[in-house]
Structure 1
Amino acid sequence: MEHNWKSIKEALNSTCQEVLRLKKHHHKEWISIETLNKIKEMKNKKTAINNSRTRTEGVKAQAEYIEANKQVKKIIRADKKKHVEELATTAEKAAREGNLKQLYDTTKKLAGKYSKPERPVKDKVGRVITEIQEQRNRWVEYFEELLNKLASMDPPDIEAAHTHLPIDVNPPTTEEIRMAVRQIKNGKAAGPDNIPAEALNQTSKYLQACFTFYSKRFGKRNKCRWTGKKGTSSRFQRKEI
Structure 2
Amino acid sequence: MIQESRNKKAAINTSRTRAEKAKAQVEYTEVNRQVKKSTRTDKRKYVEYLAMTAEKAVREENMKQLYDTIKKLSGHHSKPERPVKSKEGKVVTNIEEQQNRWVEHFKELLNRPAPLNPPNIEAAPTDLTIDVRPPAFKEISMAIRQIKSDKAVRPNNFPAKALKADVAANARILHILFNKVWDEEQVPTDWIE
Max radius of gyration: which structure?
2
When the two structures are superposed, what TM-score results if normalisation uses the length of structure 2?
A: 0.46
**Greater RCO (CA < 8 Å, at least 6 residues apart):** 1
